[in-house]
Structure 1
Amino acid sequence: MKIAVLDDYLQAAQNGIDWAALGNDAALTVFTELLPAGLEERAAALAGFEVIVAMRERTPFPAELIRLLPELRLLVTTGMRNLSIDMAACTAQGIVVCGAPGSLQAANATAELAWAHILGLFKNTVAEDQAMRAGLWQTRMPAILAGKTLGVVGLGKLGQAVATVGKAFGMAVLAYSPNLTDERAARAGVTRVDKHDLFRQADVISLHLILSDSTRGLVDAQLLQAMKPGAFLVNTSRAGLVDAGALYRMLKDKRIAGAGLDVYPEEPLAADDPIRRLDNVLLTPHLGYVNRENFEAFYQSAVKAIAAWAGGQAVHVLS
């Protein structure tokens, strides 16, 4: 059984993970670099593998790629949702797709990162760190959080975690979700508003929606233009929620104070992407789910999923 583990950028896949439990007939290949971009080249790199373990949505599996992998029988994705896999194409080709759950301990890791971005933006931590290393002292005026308004778009588990911290800092918290009710907002201790009011009133907006057909492009040019000139936008969710071109223009023209971004339309973000050159953005390389506890759970779950499938009893089947 030839197994490929993809996109192990931090070389965590073999750190304490018992792949040997799959038996002597299991041959493991770990890819620590991004696969080639071209479809034919990518298919060639994956040729011959019966099992592939994908790290979240780092490598997409469209129908065109799946058709070029006739020996693939099991596709395991870390996490329990992966919009970059064409499930219908997998089913048509007889490929089982299974999820590999992460760590419950790390469930709020993305909310923690959102707050790292919010605090970094309000306190100018990146700019002041760079200034200190250049021999300077106090170059920008930090802002306080108390008394400001936090807008949370998506009041699920992560959105509620972000809102709780905002209230602890003495912020007023507004929330919007497509199906949010006043009662559910009240239980979370926040105020439900429509999306236009949220973008007009908030001093910082944090996005926590699942990307779907109904939420793709939800943060469009009109909503961005409604933001206060001194407001920040933080996106640790999915890049597709936001009109990337409109956001870049708003940031470049200093129409809003800045943004904290962990997700991008194309990942990894190109080295020459113009957003890297803006001085009013805080950028991180999609770290929301990246932590030791989560990765250990992902890969341990992947081993269990492969073993169960090989034994004829697939678990966490997604397709």
Structure 2
Amino acid sequence: MRLRCAVLDDFQSVATTVVDWSPVTDDVDVVTFPEHCGSEDELVAVLADFDIAVTLRERVPFPATVFARLPRLKLLVASGMRNSVIDFAAAERHGVTVCGTASSSVPPVEMTWALLLGLARGIVAESTALRSGGPWQSTLGADLHGRRLGLLGLGKIGGRVAQIGLAFGMDVVAWSQNLTKERADEVGTGLAASKEELLETSDFVSVHLALSDRTRGLLGAAELGLMRPTGYLINTSRAAIVDQDALLAALRDGTIAGAGVDVFDIEPLPADHPMRTAPRLLATPHLGYVTRDNYRTYYGHAVEDIQAFLAGSPVRRLG
């Protein structure tokens, strides 16, 4: 019997065109799903007749209850080498091999700067006005040169964001709970004495931390209240690092000048979600990793993972 592979959340319908799947199609039927499974019941119904599933990033949770309801599933491929929504122990108990792929840190860096620059220069508002016959120039741009960029996190992504900020002539400082002076010196940034100091002194604050028990809710109402009223917040990391209700309140009240957000507490966002209509917000639908080259890596490695699994020697195993 031929195996069946489901490719989930292929929103752009490109999964089978950005790479060549022929190395596995002699043995595997590949079916793509452009619609998101919004509930566990939907996911189980979609995957009931599949042996293999390919999922993008952390769009779809795979808790123990899902594995228990999918006895046919034998291989789960997730893009990236870290995933917080897969129960790896449950996968092992139910005989499901979980494999990952490489993932580039370059696209989220570029997305961060797209949001920051879009906010600073009112790009969306000005473009909309120009195309609709609105006013000729209605915003006053925020300068970057000489202003302070505060980075929460200075890892692989944060470090690259810092280097671009320095190239713009910004004063770049960073803070995280484990950040050392040696790392800050290596990148060429200042080291903020505390999270509070960074928030109080920065014109732009950008989040580049992994989500954990320590970082969940790291920025709440009190922290956002420390930011300058002319300050901007950018989050391309994880929504839960910033208290979403507090952020909405800060945007509505004008506590901060604006925010650029690429991650949300629910994805895709429901049509009536308040983030869709919040003022002072430049929002994008989690595009940080969505580039042609990154998709070539994700799906190219997914094909390799399937090949290796079929050969009895799985690669890039997660868990």
Please name the residue that 1:192 is paired with.
191
Please name the residue that 2:176 is paired with.
177
Please name the residue that 1:93 is paired with.
94
Is 1:123 the counterpart of 2:125? The answer is no
Identify the range of structure 1 (22-31 vs 189-198) with the bigger mean alpha-carbon deviation.
22-31
Identify the range of structure 1 (259-268 vs 20-29) with the bigger mean alpha-carbon deviation.
20-29
Check 1:290–1:16 CA distance in 2 against 1; reply closer, same or farther (3 A cut): closer
Q: Separation in 1 of the partners of 2:30 and 2:180?
A: 49
Is residue 18–residue 295 contact of structure 2 (8 Å, CA) maintained in 1? no
Cα shift at 1:221: 1.8
Please name the residue that 2:297 is paired with.
297
Q: Which amino acid aligns with 1:67?
A: A
Please name the residue that 2:318 is paired with.
318
Please name the residue that 2:137 is paired with.
138
TM-score for both structures, normalised by structure 1: 0.96
Please name the residue that 2:47 is paired with.
46
Cα shift at 1:239: 0.5
Please name the residue that 1:19 is paired with.
21
Please name the residue that 1:256 is paired with.
256
Please name the residue that 1:3 is paired with.
5
Q: Separation in 2 of the partners of 1:234 and 1:270?
A: 21
Cα shift at 1:16: 4.4
SS across alignment from 1:100: coil
Q: Which amino acid aligns with 2:114?
A: A
Q: Give per-residue Cα distances to partners, 1:102-129, cap 9 Å, x unaligned.
A: 3xxx431111111111111111111111
Q: Separation in 2 of the partners of 1:152 and 1:41?
A: 39
Q: Give unpaired runs (5+ residues) of structure 2.
A: none
Identify the range of structure 1 (126-135 vs 305-314) with the bigger mean alpha-carbon deviation.
126-135
Check 1:181–1:38 CA distance in 2 against 1; reply closer, same or farther (3 A cut): closer
Q: Which amino acid aligns with 1:282?
A: L
Please name the residue that 1:160 is paired with.
159
Cα shift at 1:23: 4.4
Q: Separation in 1 of the partners of 2:32 and 2:42?
A: 17
Cα shift at 1:234: 0.1
Check 1:180–1:14 CA distance in 2 against 1; reply closer, same or farther (3 A cut): same
Q: Separation in 2 of the partners of 1:40 and 1:184?
A: 46
Q: Separation in 2 of the partners of 1:201 and 1:94?
A: 52
Is 1:222 the counterpart of 2:222? The answer is yes
Percent of aligned pairs with the same residue? 46
Is residue 18–residue 292 contact of structure 2 (8 Å, CA) maintained in 1? no
Please name the residue that 1:266 is paired with.
266
Q: Give per-residue Cα distances to partners, 1:132-153, cap 9 Å, x unaligned.
A: 1232201111121111110011
Check 1:123–1:98 CA distance in 2 against 1; reply closer, same or farther (3 A cut): same
Cα shift at 1:6: 0.5
Tell me the matched-pair count. Answer: 315
Cα shift at 1:42: 2.2
Q: Which amino acid aligns with 2:184?
A: A
Q: Give unpaired runs (5+ residues) of structure 1.
A: none
Please name the residue that 1:147 is paired with.
146
Q: Separation in 2 of the partners of 1:17 and 1:114?
A: 27
SS across alignment from 1:58: coil
Q: Which amino acid aligns with 1:130?
A: T
Is residue 248–residue 278 contact of structure 2 (8 Å, CA) maintained in 1? no
Cα shift at 1:213: 1.8
SS across alignment from 1:29: strand
SS across alignment from 2:6: strand
Let me know the Cα RMSD of the aligned residues: 1.2
Is residue 251–residue 279 contact of structure 2 (8 Å, CA) maintained in 1? no
Check 1:142–1:73 CA distance in 2 against 1; reply closer, same or farther (3 A cut): same
Q: Give per-residue Cα distances to partners, 1:200-228, cap 9 Å, x unaligned.
A: 11111011111122211111222111111
Cα shift at 1:316: 0.3
Q: Separation in 2 of the partners of 1:313 and 1:54?
A: 21
Match of 1:110 among 104, 108, 112: 108
Please name the residue that 2:79 is paired with.
78
SS across alignment from 2:100: strand
Cα shift at 1:238: 0.7
Cα shift at 1:264: 0.2
Q: Which amino acid aligns with 2:314?
A: A
4+ long deviations beyond 4 Å: none
Cα shift at 1:77: 0.3
SS across alignment from 2:159: helix
Q: Give per-residue Cα distances to partners, 1:251-298, cap 9 Å, x unaligned.
A: 111111000000000001112212221231101110110000110111
Q: Separation in 1 of the partners of 2:67 and 2:240?
A: 23
Cα shift at 1:17: 2.4
Please name the residue that 2:242 is paired with.
242
